[in-house]
Amino acid sequence: MPTENSHIKILASAPAARIIARELNRRRFLGFAAAAGGAAFLAACSSPESTLSNGLESQLSMYSWGDYDAPEVLTAFTKDLGPKLTVDSFGSNEEMISKLVGTKGTSGYDIVVPTGPYIPQMVENNLLMKLDHRQIPNLKYMDPAFLGRDWDPTNAYSICKAWGTTGFVYDKTVITRDLFTWNDFFDAAMNEASGSVSILDDPGEITGMFYWANGIDWNTTKKEDIDAAEDFLVNKLAPHVAAFNSYPGSDAVPQDLQALIQIWNGDARLGISESDDPDKWVWRLGAPTTELWMDNWSIAEGAPHPKAAHAFINYVLEPANSLAELDYIGYHTGAIDIEQKAKDEGLEMLDMVFFTPDQIATMKDAEVNEAQERTVDIWNKMKAAAGA
Amino acid sequence: MTTTSGAIAVEKRPDEPAGTVVLDSVTKIFGESTAVDNISLRVEPGEFLSLLGPSGCGKTTTLRMLAGFETPNSGSIRISGEDVLGIPPYKRNVNTVFQAYALFPHLSVAENVAYGLQQKKVPKAEVREKVVSALEMVKMRSFADRKPTQLSGGQQQRIALARALVNQPAVLLLDEPLGALDRQLREEMQLELKLLQSQLGITFIFVTHDQGEALSMSDRIAIMREGKIEQLADAETIYSSPTSAYVAGFIGQQNFFEGTLNKDGNLENSGGKIRAAIPLSAQTGTAVRAAIRPEDITIDSKEPGPQINAISGSLVSISHLGETLQYLVDVGGGHTVLARRPRPGAPRLELKSKVWCTWTPESVLMFHAHEESPGSHDSPEE
Amino acid sequence: MSRLRLPRPILAFPAIGWLLIFFVAPVLLVLWFSFGYKPGVFQTHANDKLSFDRYAEALNPTFFTTFWNTLWVGVAGTLLCLIIAFPVAYWMAAKIPSRYRGLLIALVMVPYWTNFLVRTIGWQIILAPHGWLSAALNWLGLIDGSLDILYTRSAVLLGVVYNYLPLMILPLYVAFDRVSQDMREASKDLGAGRIATLLRVTIPLAMPGIIVGTLLVYIPLMGDYITATVLGGAKGNMAGVLVASQFQTAQNWALGSAMAVLLILLILVSAALAGLIIWLLLLPFNRSRRLVIGVAK
């Protein structure tokens, strides 16, 4: 799916729904539809491979989450450094990984954006290329707090692109009491917000809510924990759920589709900023605990344009670009002092972007483990129960 | 099916018994064009009436108004003495044989024939009996269980006839039913149709553009032109005494001569004079047209004696038409004359030789020239 | 001028090849995967051990609930399309002067010039509880407060009708167009009224088109989950979502394949069953009209 930038070719796929919804919402429907036609044309006539005078390859292809970069940064990259950028999007890490596994290093993608916990197995399966830090001098602008995470302690394969967390927003004209915790969320969902509840369309986020609420390790593989989650989510919560929506910020919040919405922080910020009546929405970080997810810049094994890929990563780490990315996507990019810069720039609703150390202490990392199949199963059962 | 009609219609007019069809000042307009222009017509019970004319003359529209598929803009239509205006087709005691037969391809021959009876909730045993006898009537009994698509054009034609007649309508409407058949089959069907009609005694209203068909079957023929009836009479009268050059040209072939009326009441033009036994009562100098049938023209290589009705020319062709020979003579000025003589006694003539055509004043019909003549053989078609 | 003459079967090869490559091969592949299993977190499928275990796994209560929902949307949506398309197609084919027909067909097709997803999301915006439609209806005094249609089955059906109606109208239109005016007039001439003509002539003759239109809507609708999830939210849970979740999220191609095979079977069996039911219902009617004369004595 295209952006305003004619240098960038973004191919359509399932996650495009989010972009379409957002574009429609921004009332740029006609421009969008016209661009959609243009993109197909552009995709059909990419120029042959060559090397630019600065030593970079003339092309660069990125495989990322939908609508996850500031268009002006992407445009400026091509303008400043030359490589033409193609962006394809995926809707889940699994989808991205299966494509890389399936093509065995010939996917043609240079930059991929995996979420932290998936990185060790990707490395183990030779899906990622080692980063050459000499080609990324701008690494010095990164806050060490967001480097050296457990899944890649030396940042040999990944550098933080953005991190975020999960919470919820509610419409205080419908829910007049104060909600703070996941248990409050469940209580309201089963009472005054029944039938007007939206939860993330992601298995781990849904089971996560139950574990976070009940002080259970999010990465549990114990059968009794999983059974308890299934019983509560399928039998108690599901009948009250109206929608499974991973990006409610692009439709549910601005259009008042539901009153109680599980949402990622950046998306909440986008939704509230696009709402006609932003004051009625209350954002709450999940409590007592919630998650911390981190998406990372990585380069795929067998990337055809490694120099351009390194140059791109270096380019987005540039403080000005990092701030533009933050402003566009609404997530912390992990750069040093970016909070202050954002405040200086006068960006709004920064409480949905930056969190206090106390809050960050309540955010848990995810793991990929053998509970996944059960988790997906619970998700499907909830959908069946909610749709019945 | 030997009764005149199965009509149960209330006889509102004693002078119009079952099977009578009356059109009274009927007009039908489609958008800008007047398809039927103030037609009045009475068809007697058991009569075979043909509506004859070129396409667009209003004959099919007239038939469709009788069937109930079109509603006249003005005038009234009575069938069996009953005013049928506003009565839908399915409640009229008339049936139609369509030009393309319109047999139902998903039903068998027998089911096609049974269709009308089933609509009237006729008991099953009776339906079977009537269907069998209708199929026997058209000699199609052994095809009863086939699908119409497995039949030839002539066979489909018979089924269409049986499907209509099995309902014992007071009036049968036939819309160019023989148009799709080849010549030989068409002639056979003409005979059968006429025979059937005289046996059943049902009123037939037959639409055609083929004068031969009309002449061979009809009790009376209505020649139509531009929404009007030009002449309504039996075949003999129309053939021998057409009331206009249009009718004269439409029925049979004619040789037409254009000219002006001289003081003696003869047609005169640059080629000579033509005398009619019955002169046209019109002023001297009027533009007139004389019509002479090819069979009334004598052809010879010898120059005739002094008589007015003669013209010379070069013999262009001789064609054999079975019992007659037909001669085409180029008389100069782009005009030709058509002559026909019976084979016995026909003169032996050389092609391209000079010949003389003569005819008697009795065979000449004189008309006003302003009328068109669609079938004119002033310049032969073949 | 000489013309290259090809034997007829050769002309059919591109079509047959196309079907083999893009239809038969993927279906066989899915069938093959469905007998395999998912060996580990990073593998999607393996077929070194074959079994029916994935089918046993797929056939659980979740699956039945979802399939029932899918069947409901599929059948109700198809029927609704048929009911709406029938008079429209008939009117276009039989009542409208032929010079306007091209324009009408173009109008029917207009929504297809837009991306499927865009069209559906367009409806989501229109139907939003505080969206334009809601505001318009409030202004007209037809409703009071928010419009509670989005994320209900009514919204799903609305979206289905909008997205699939052209697929029903076009074959019906072609079918009705082929039932000539003559046939209907012949029926009326033989004493059948409008209803009898419709039932005994027009519908039987248009039946191939009606069947094509029904299948053309029903089959893709059963596999569609975009319309249902965008407009129905949780109430639009379709079997397609289940299959997609196995392929994309759980990365379990074996189980996803088994579900896909079951979905295909459900579509085939339900379509055949519907045909059988209709045939049985019409049997007494057809039998009463049947007339076999037999060979002459």
User: Is the minimum CB–CB distance between A370 and chain C shorter than 8 Å?
Assistant: yes
Neighbouring chains of B at 3+ CB pairs within 8 Å?
Answer: C
Q: pLDDT digits over C232-262, tens only? A: 888 888 888 888 888 877 778 899 999 999 9
Q: Which residues of B touch C291 (CB under 8 A)?
A: 108, 110-111, 114, 127-128, 131
Judging contact as 3 or more Cβ pairs under 8 Å, the answer for A and B is: no
CB contact under 8 A, A24 and C122: yes
**pLDDT beyond 90 at A348:** no
Distance from CA of C103 to the nearest CA of B (A): 22
User: Is the minimum CB–CB distance between B118 and chain C shorter than 8 Å?
Assistant: yes
CB contact under 8 A, C291 and B106: no
- The CATH fold assigned to A9-163+293-345 is D-Maltodextrin-Binding Protein; domain 2 (3.40.190)
> Which among A94, A200, A378 is the top mutation candidate for probing chain C, defined by the most C β-carbons within 10 Å of its own β-carbon?
A94
Q: Please tell me which residue of chain C has the smallest CA distance to A387.
A: C235
Interface of chain C against chain B, CB under 8 Å? 180, 182-183, 185-193, 196, 200-201, 204-205, 289-296
**What per-residue confidence (pLDDT) applies to A63?**
94
- Tell me how many residue pairs between chain B and chain C have CB atoms under 8 A apart: 87
Name the residue among C62, C65, C234 with its Cβ closest to that of A241: C234
- List, as ranges, residues 76-95 from A with C-beta within 8 Å of C: 91-92, 94-95
User: Where residue C10 falls among pLDDT bands split at 50, 70, 90?
Assistant: confident
Structure tokens, A380: 């499907």
Distance CA A253, CA A263 (A): 10
**What per-residue confidence (pLDDT) applies to B363?**
86
Give residue A179's identity as a one-letter amino acid code. Answer: L
Find, among A299, A372, A293, A371, the residue nearest to A332 by Cα: A293
CB B327 within 8 A of CB B353: no
Burial environment of residue A28 by CB neighbours within 10 A (0 to 12, 13 to 18, 19 or more)? middle
Judging contact as 3 or more Cβ pairs under 8 Å, the answer for C and B is: yes
User: Where residue C124 falls among pLDDT bands split at 50, 70, 90?
Assistant: confident
Q: Which residues of B touch C204 (CB under 8 A)?
A: 106
Distance CA B288, CA B367 (A): 6
> How many angstroms separate the Cα of B238 from the Cα of each of B34, B102, B211, B218?
26, 33, 11, 12
**What per-residue confidence (pLDDT) applies to A35?**
38
Neighbouring chains of C at 3+ CB pairs within 8 Å?
Answer: A, B
**pLDDT beyond 50 at B374:** no
Structure tokens, B247: 């009718």
Name the residue among B89, B111, B163 with its Cβ closest to that of C289: B111
**What per-residue confidence (pLDDT) applies to B165?**
93
CA B197 to chain centre: 16
In a domain, B265, yes or no: yes
Q: What is the share, in percent, of chain B residues with pLDDT greater than 70?
A: 93
More confident position, B172 or B16: B172
Q: Which residues of B touch C192 (CB under 8 A)?
A: 90, 115, 119
Distance from CA of C249 to the nearest CA of B (A): 52
CB contact under 8 A, C43 and A101: yes
Q: Which residues of C touch A21 (CB under 8 A)?
A: 121, 124
Q: Please tell me which residue of chain A has the smallest CA distance to C122.
A: A24
Domain identity same for B211 and B272: no
- List, as ranges, residues 140-169 from B with C-beta within 8 Å of C: 141-142, 144-145, 163-164, 167
Find, among A37, A43, A34, A52, the residue nearest to A8 by Cα: A43
Hey, where are the domains in chain C? 72-236
Judging contact as 3 or more Cβ pairs under 8 Å, the answer for A and C is: yes
User: Is the minimum CB–CB distance between C235 and chain A shorter than 8 Å?
Assistant: yes
- List, as ranges, residues 52-91 from C with C-beta within 8 Å of A: 61-63, 65-66, 69
The mean pLDDT of A68-82, rounded to a whole number, is: 92
Burial environment of residue B182 by CB neighbours within 10 A (0 to 12, 13 to 18, 19 or more)? exposed
Range of the domain at B300: 255-368
CB contact under 8 A, C190 and B127: no
Domain identity same for B162 and B88: yes
CA A311 to chain centre: 22
Distance from CA of C81 to the nearest CA of A (A): 22
Neighbouring chains of A at 3+ CB pairs within 8 Å?
Answer: C
> How many CB atoms within 10 Å of residue B197?
22
**What per-residue confidence (pLDDT) applies to C141?**
86
Q: pLDDT digits over A227-283, tens only? A: 999 999 999 999 999 999 888 998 889 888 899 999 999 999 989 998 989 999 999
CB contact under 8 A, C248 and A17: no
> How many CB atoms within 10 Å of residue B13?
14
Q: What is the ipTM, given to two decimal places?
A: 0.78
User: Is the minimum CB–CB distance between C125 and chain A shorter than 8 Å?
Assistant: yes
Name the residue among C190, C191, C205 with its Cβ closest to that of B106: C205
CATH classification number, C72-236, choose in 1.10.3720.10, 3.40.50.300, 3.40.30.10, 1.10.10.60: 1.10.3720.10
Domain identity same for B82 and B123: yes
**pLDDT beyond 80 at A186:** yes
Burial environment of residue C26 by CB neighbours within 10 A (0 to 12, 13 to 18, 19 or more)? exposed
Helix (H), strand (E), coil (C) string for chain C: CCCCCCCHHHHHHHHHHHHHHHHHHHHHHHHHHHCCECCCCCCCCECCCCCCHHHHHHCCHHHHHHHHHHHHHHHHHHHHHHHHHHHHHHHHHHHCCHHHHHHHHHHHHHHHHCCHHHHHHHHHHHHCCCCHHHHHHHHHCCCCCCCCCCCCHHHHHHHHHHHHHHHHHHHHHHHHHHCCHHHHHHHHHCCCCHHHHHHHHHHHHHHHHHHHHHHHHHHHHHHCCHHHHHHHHHHHCCHHHHHHHHHHHCCCHHHHHHHHHHHHHHHHHHHHHHHHHHHHHHHHHHHHHCCCCCCCC
- List, as ranges, residues 163-192 from C with C-beta within 8 Å of A: none
In the three-class reduction of DSSP (H, G, I as helix; E, B as strand; rest coil), residue A60 is classed as strand
**pLDDT beyond 90 at A366:** no
Name the residue among B110, B144, B167 with its Cβ closest to that of C190: B167
Distance CA B221, CA B51 (A): 6
Q: Which residues of C touch B69 (CB under 8 A)?
A: 185, 188
Domain identity same for B216 and B281: no
| CATH no. of A166-291+359-387 | 3.40.190.10
Residue B272's CATH number: 2.40.50.100
Domain identity same for B177 and B209: yes
CB contact under 8 A, C124 and A256: no
Distance CA B114, CA B127 (A): 6
**pLDDT beyond 90 at B107:** yes
Domain boundary among B240, B265, B287: B240
More confident position, A292 or C43: A292
Name the residue among A17, A125, A384 with its Cβ closest to that of C62: A384
Give the DSSP H or E segment for B368. strand B365-368
Hey, where are the domains in chain A? 9-163+293-345, 166-291+359-387
Structure tokens, C178: 């082929």
CB contact under 8 A, C193 and B88: yes
- List, as ranges, residues 70-99 from B with C-beta within 8 Å of C: 88-91, 94-96, 98-99
User: Where residue C125 falls among pLDDT bands split at 50, 70, 90?
Assistant: confident
A79-88, B225-234, B278-287, B364-373: least confident range: B364-373
CB contact under 8 A, A257 and C66: no
Distance from CA of B32 to the nearest CA of C (A): 16
Domain identity same for B269 and B233: no
Distance from CA of C277 to the nearest CA of A (A): 26
**What per-residue confidence (pLDDT) applies to C296?**
58
Structurally, how many domains does chain B consist of?
Answer: 2
CB contact under 8 A, A257 and C151: yes
Structure tokens, A75: 């445009």
Name the residue among C183, C189, C291 with its Cβ closest to that of B89: C189
Find, among B137, B196, B204, the residue nearest to B170 by Cα: B204
Q: Which residues of C touch B96 (CB under 8 A)?
A: 185-186, 189
Domain identity same for B160 and B278: no
Q: pLDDT digits over B42-101, tens only? A: 999 999 999 999 888 999 999 999 999 999 999 999 999 999 998 999 999 999 999 888
Name the residue among B90, B102, B141 with its Cβ closest to that of C193: B90
CA A111 to chain centre: 15
Beta bridge partners of B335: B332
User: Where residue C224 falls among pLDDT bands split at 50, 70, 90?
Assistant: confident
**What per-residue confidence (pLDDT) applies to A22?**
46
Q: What is the DSSP letter of A64?
A: E
